Amino acid sequence: MKRFLMVALALSLSQQTTRAAEISVIENETPDHPALILIKGPFLKDEGRKDVGTFVGLVAARKKPAVVFLDGPGGAAWTGLQIGRLIRRYGCLTAVADNVQCTSACALAWLGGKERYMGTNARIGFHAASVTDNSDASASAAANAVIGAYLHEVGVTDFNAIIYLTKADPQSITWLNLSDAMRYRISVKAFSPSQGRWSWTRSALGLPSRRHVDSIEAMSESKPKFP
């Protein structure tokens, strides 16, 4: 029991703020596309059960798997892990849009996506778990073992990939990019609202409307159906 409590304490990432995460549906599902759920803000330690309950209520009500966009500085890793598991269980896609930052616990939740997307200028950052009340090395090691097990659950099974995502100390960040994702065999796809399949997200994300077709590639692109 003592070890469990130590691990629970350790699964808290270093950035602390007072404004809790907002979890909401910002675009309802239609016959053409799924619902868009936005998770914005940090996962606070005392709000974890509430955040998980809110997310379950929103995602379980969908007829088709939702797309979950994330935007946040981290917070309680336990919450990020639980939401990431729910994302995976319900078959949701995850995305971080251009010029949006998603780090620590937010990034762990993003990894739960059945398919993961990131904008060209998205900033998705990872680091090791930290111990919030002391420097107990065994608690920190146990916490990072929990994160390693979670990474395996969500399909990040390459040993070098797990090291890559957890190598930075809690005061540092490893920033993921598409080339490193390919190098470490972390399944990630590029997101752009210019693509036909994502054009419906523009208004929900507060992006300007497209004036014209952006490229020949976009012009010839077939628009796949969402499940």
Tell whether the model's pLDDT for residue 93 goes beyond 90.
yes
Torsion of CA 30, 221, 92, 121, to 10 degrees: -120
Span 112-158, pLDDT tens digits = 999 999 998 999 999 987 765 555 555 577 888 899 999 999 999 99
28 CB contacts (<8 Å, ≥6 apart)? Answer: 35
In eight-state DSSP terms, residue 198 is G
Q: On the CB side of 45, how many CA atoms lie within 13 Å of its CA?
A: 11
Predicted confidence at residue 14, as pLDDT, reads: 43
Nearest to 226 by CA among 196, 188, 194, 192: 196
The average confidence (pLDDT) of the chain is 84
Residue, of 112 and 223, whose pLDDT is higher: 112
Categorize the per-residue pLDDT at 88 as very low, low, confident or very high, splitting at 50, 70 and 90.
Answer: very high
Q: How far apart are CA 91 and CA 26, in angstroms?
A: 19
Lookup: tokens for 66: 């939702």
Strand, coil or helix: 195: coil
Calculate the alpha carbon distances from 65 to 7, 21, 45, 221 in Å. Answer: 32, 21, 27, 23
- The β-bridge relationship of strands 22-27 and 36-40 is antiparallel
Lookup: tokens for 58: 């929103």
Domains and CATH numbers, the chain: 2-220 (3.90.226.10)
Span 1-17, pLDDT tens digits = 444 333 443 454 444 44
Nearest to 192 by CA among 121, 130, 142: 121
